[in-house]
């Protein structure tokens, strides 16, 4: 019986460089421009999270802008509604995912069709029949339905409109998809009709879904742990752990020991372990929902930065601000900026500037501040465009 290979030591600097390369944040324009660039970003990352907060531009646009310097909001609309290269569904949160990955989500859709969805237990057969009759007649927004009798919410984020809840349930079952967005107003369309299919693709098997989860994480994270592969998806851990072990035995993955990780195990493909250095002048103002930030414990381990999301924290208790944005300079997170877009007066407001990590060192602060302010000018133009 062969012994398990000894983990390769990995410094946090090396881990940062590997992860930044996997996220394509080590070069300025890795994906080109236009709707095809949007499709390529989503395909590479595996998902781009959607969120409603718009104190600055919503996070799905922000994440794309961080990797496509010439990004325009119309590029995402084109990818979703014309090219149909991306579609919306649930990963760890509501996200844009590649249309080419559709079959990996079909088993979850079928499960919701069989067993319902705990968030929409109050949807009645009559509500569902009503919205499906309307959407069969043509694309539908919730504003097109004017005869709803409002009901009490079952939880904070639920709509009082029965038809909206029914449309959302139809979305999770795969009967309809979001064919277009105007801001956060969704247009629903029959899934089959939107994609021009005669029938749905063949659903992925459980084994294929496990491989999909691992491969997606390896591609977008470089170095992975069981927690990072199965973010907010504990039921998948057992199968993923088994697949990791088999790939280690075949030499396709190698165990690595990141400084400070303690007993938490990590793995990488051998080809990922020699990243280049990140240009020290490269600056990214990141969304708190960016894949580099959303897994807080991982970001803290590898970058030494514990991001605080304080939008739901009372103002007096906030440390970084309502919607602080981490600032990446080279391969270090050096600041967190609480910004607000004043769309009426067409300017970007600085609510609070907090230095973190290497940014606290006064010897480097003047140079860092100039680099960040240069990027803020570009970020403001993005905020106010279109």
Q: pLDDT tens digit string along 352-371?
A: 999 999 999 888 899 999 99
In this predicted structure, the answer to whether residue 149 has a pLDDT above a threshold of 80 is no
The stretch 50-64 carries a mean pLDDT of: 96
The stretch 230-250 carries a mean pLDDT of: 98
CA distance linking residue 231 with residue 227, whole number of Å? 6
Instruction: Assess contact for 75 and 34: CB atoms under 8 A.
Output: yes
222 DSSP β-pair partners: none
In this predicted structure, the answer to whether residue 148 has a pLDDT above a threshold of 90 is no
Q: What is the rounded average pLDDT for all residues in the chain?
A: 94
Between the CA of residue 155 and those of 14, 118, 237, what are the distances in Å?
A: 44, 11, 29
The closest of 352, 297, 301 to 327, measured between CA atoms, is: 352
In this predicted structure, the answer to whether residue 4 has a pLDDT above a threshold of 90 is no
In this predicted structure, the answer to whether residue 157 has a pLDDT above a threshold of 70 is no
Taking CB atoms within 8 Å and a gap of at least 24, the contacts of 291-294 are 291/23, 291/45, 291/47, 291/49, 291/63, 291/220, 292/19, 292/20, 292/23, 292/25, 292/328, 293/326, 294/49, 294/92, 294/231
* pTM, two decimal places: 0.95
- For residue 153, the model assigns a pLDDT of 63
pLDDT confidence bin for 184, thresholds 50/70/90: confident
- For residue 152, the model assigns a pLDDT of 61
The stretch 291-303 carries a mean pLDDT of: 98
In this predicted structure, the answer to whether residue 339 has a pLDDT above a threshold of 90 is yes
């Amino acid at each position: 019986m062969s012994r398990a290979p000894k983990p390769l030591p990995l410094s946090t600097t090396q881990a940062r460089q590997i992860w930044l390369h996997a996220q394509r944040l080590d070069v300025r324009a890795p994906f080109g421009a236009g709707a095809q660039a949007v499709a390529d970003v989503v395909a590479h990352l595996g998902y781009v999270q959607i969120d409603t907060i718009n104190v600055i531009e919503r996070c799905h646009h922000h994440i794309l802008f961080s990797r496509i310097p010439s990004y325009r909001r119309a590029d995402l609309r084109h990818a979703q509604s014309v090219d149909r290269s991306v579609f919306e569904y649930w990963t760890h949160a509501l996200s844009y995912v590649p249309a080419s990955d559709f079959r990996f989500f079909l088993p979850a859709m079928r499960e919701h069709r069989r067993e319902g969805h705990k968030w929409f237990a109050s949807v009645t057969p009559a509500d569902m029949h009503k919205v499906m009759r309307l959407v069969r007649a043509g694309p539908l927004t919730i504003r097109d339905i004017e005869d709803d009798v409002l009901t009490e919410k079952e939880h904070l984020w639920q709509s009082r409109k029965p038809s909206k809840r029914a449309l959302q349930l139809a979305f999770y079952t795969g009967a309809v998809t979001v064919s277009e967005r105007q801001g956060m107003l969704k247009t629903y369309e029959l899934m089959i009709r939107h994609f021009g299919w005669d029938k749905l693709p063949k659903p992925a098997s459980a084994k294929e879904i496990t491989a999909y989860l691992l491969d997606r994480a390896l591609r977008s994270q470089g170095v992975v742990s069981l927690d990072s592969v199965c973010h907010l998806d504990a039921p998948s851990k057992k199968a993923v752990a088994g697949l990791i072990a088999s790939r280690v035995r075949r030499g396709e993955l190698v165990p690595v020991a990141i400084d400070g990780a303690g007993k938490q195990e990590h793995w990488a493909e051998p080809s990922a372990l020699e990243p280049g250095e990140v240009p020290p002048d490269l600056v990214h103002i990141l969304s708190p929902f960016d894949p580099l930030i959303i897994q807080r414990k991982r970001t803290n381990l590898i970058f030494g930065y514990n991001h605080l999301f304080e939008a739901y924290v009372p103002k007096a208790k906030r440390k970084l601000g309502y919607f602080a944005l981490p600032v990446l300079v080279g391969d270090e997170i050096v600041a967190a900026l609480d910004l607000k877009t004043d769309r009426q007066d067409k300017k970007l407001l600085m609510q609070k500037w907090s230095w973190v990590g290497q940014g606290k060192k006064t010897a480097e602060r003047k140079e860092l501040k100039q680099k960040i302010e240069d990027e803020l000018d570009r970020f403001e133009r993005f905020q106010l465009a279109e």
